[in-house]
Structure 1
Amino acid sequence: MWGKEDKTSAADDAAAGLHGMATGTYPFLGRMDPADFTRLLSRAEIALGTALLLPFVPSLPAGAALTGFAGGLLGLYLKTPGMRREGSLRPSELAISKDIWLPGIGLGLVLEELGHR
């Protein structure tokens, strides 16, 4: 989908496709420009990944952010046609399995931090 570009510099058609998929599940995103949405998503992914890697970022906010982000991805999975088999939670062949692991990791970080308090 991205070729030599990435989300930070996505072509108009790639940004429109990503934005269109997101607005199908989250209509309020329709007010954003597709290129702006794609750049913001890219920056959020980079910031979240950085927070998870830096040892001085506490587990609670990093895990909460990951859980929230993963919740958004799971919403896409549940509401986007073609990502699940009809009438079932079973994924179609297009589903991305990492989206199921992310909330578990995020919740694990949150619970670990809360358990130390």
Structure 2
Amino acid sequence: MRIFARTHQLPPRLAAGAFFLNSGLGKINADPQTAAFLHGTAANVYPFLRRLDPQTFTRVLSRCEVGLGLALLTPFVPSLVAGAGLTAFAAGLVGLYLRTPGLRREGSLRPTPQGLSMAKDVWLLGIGLGLVAEELAHRRSPLPGR
């Protein structure tokens, strides 16, 4: 496993990492109303989350986002590891988009105006999958130096 990210991997890692770090830091001191909204939205799509109270959910969500952001921003965290974390988190976000009523046009993947802010999370999934796919491909490459 590579110890440092490849140079061309840094721009997408920095973009996604800054996004997650900012998002997580913004939730650290979430008020009860914000926590209830975030928890309610997630628990409607992922019912197992109902077991957590809103403040605990938001605190865990915040810490996960900060941790993922730092992993992406830190070049010595292997891209396979950072990419796998990003892929998993982004898949959950895309799942929210796909399963929340009113965010997509009837019979389509295209977002409604209300769903546009969540539909854009597909770029995070693309970055994560790209990082993972590249690292796995380089592991299998028979060429020296790859």
Same fold (TM over 0.5): yes
| Structure-1 residue corresponding to 2:63 | 43
Alignment of 1:6-25 (within 5 A): 6-25=26-45
Render the CA deviation track for 1:62-98: whole Å, top value 9, x for unaligned: 1011000000001100011121112211101122243
The residue aligned with 1:87 is 107
**Structure possessing the higher radius of gyration over alpha carbons:** 2
Match of 1:113 in 2: 135
Query: Runs of at least 4 residues of structure 1 off by over 3 A?
Result: none
Counterpart Cα distance in 2 of 1:21 and 1:65? 21
| Structure 1 unaligned regions, length at least 5 | none
CA root-mean-square deviation: 1.3
**Alignment match of 1:53 (pick from 48, 67, 73):** 73
2:88 corresponding residue in structure 1: 68
Q: Which has the higher contact order (CA 8 A, sep 6+)?
A: 2
Shift of 1:104: 0.7
TM-score, scaled relative to structure 1: 0.91
The Cα of 1:113 is off from its aligned counterpart by 1.0
* Counterpart AA for 1:100: V
Instruction: Tell whether 2:120 aligns with 1:98.
Output: yes
Measured after TM superposition, the shift of residue 43 of structure 1 is 0.7
Report the counterpart of residue 6 of structure 2 in structure 1: none
Between Structure 1 and Structure 2, how many residues are aligned? Answer: 113
- Taking the aligned partners of 2:120 and 2:60, their CA distance within structure 1 comes to 21
What SS does the aligned partner of 2:28 have? helix
Q: AA paired with 1:50?
A: L
What is the alpha-carbon distance in structure 1 between the residues aligned to residue 107 and residue 43 of structure 2? Answer: 22
Q: Which runs of 5+ in 2 are unaligned?
A: 1-24, 140-146
